[in-house]
Structure 1
Amino acid sequence: MKLGDVFVFGVDLVLFTYFTQIALNTTSMTIRIVACFAMTAEIFFMRQHLKMMKIISNRRED
């Protein structure tokens, strides 16, 4: 895993934590829905990045 990959995954994790805190600390239902959508998007981005890293590492082994 390259340093850039670790950085991107770390940023995604920080953003997920940030959006979680926003969703938990607000009383506005609209903000909660938007924060939940953002958390879902961050989970998607983290999974896609992990899949991409796995594919790249498999190509290097071949």
Structure 2
Amino acid sequence: MEKLEEQIAHLTRTTDELSDIVARQETEIAMLTRRVQLLLEREAEREATNSPQVVLGDERPPHW
């Protein structure tokens, strides 16, 4: 009987720890989702303005 009680205590602790981890992950996922949404909105605004900005990836290096 004592062995079963130890196993139940261990499983209860593990379940509580996993629950805490899932709660933290849910918060982090919500935060990251919001950040991605803000970035998408910012990019959409930038594209809508059609400002003639130079994309650094397309710019030739100064030695050319």
TM-score (ref. length: structure 1): 0.55
**Letter in structure 1 aligned against 2:19:** R
Write the distance in 1 (CA, Å) between the matches of 2:36 and 2:21: 22
Q: Say which structure is richer in helix.
A: 1
Q: Give identity over the alignment, percent.
A: 11
Partner of 1:39 in structure 2?
Answer: 26
Structure 2: state its 5+ residue gaps.
1-11, 50-64
User: C-alpha displacement at 1:43, in angstroms?
Assistant: 0.4
Partner of 1:29 in structure 2?
Answer: 16
Q: CA RMSD in A?
A: 1.0
User: Out of 10, 33, 46, which is 1:59 matched to?
Assistant: 46
Write the distance in 2 (CA, Å) between the matches of 1:38 and 1:31: 10
TM-score (ref. length: structure 2): 0.53
Runs of 4+ in 1 over 2 A off after TM superposition: none
Structure 1: state its 5+ residue gaps.
1-26
Q: Which has the higher contact order (CA 8 A, sep 6+)?
A: 1
- How many residue pairs get aligned? The number is 36
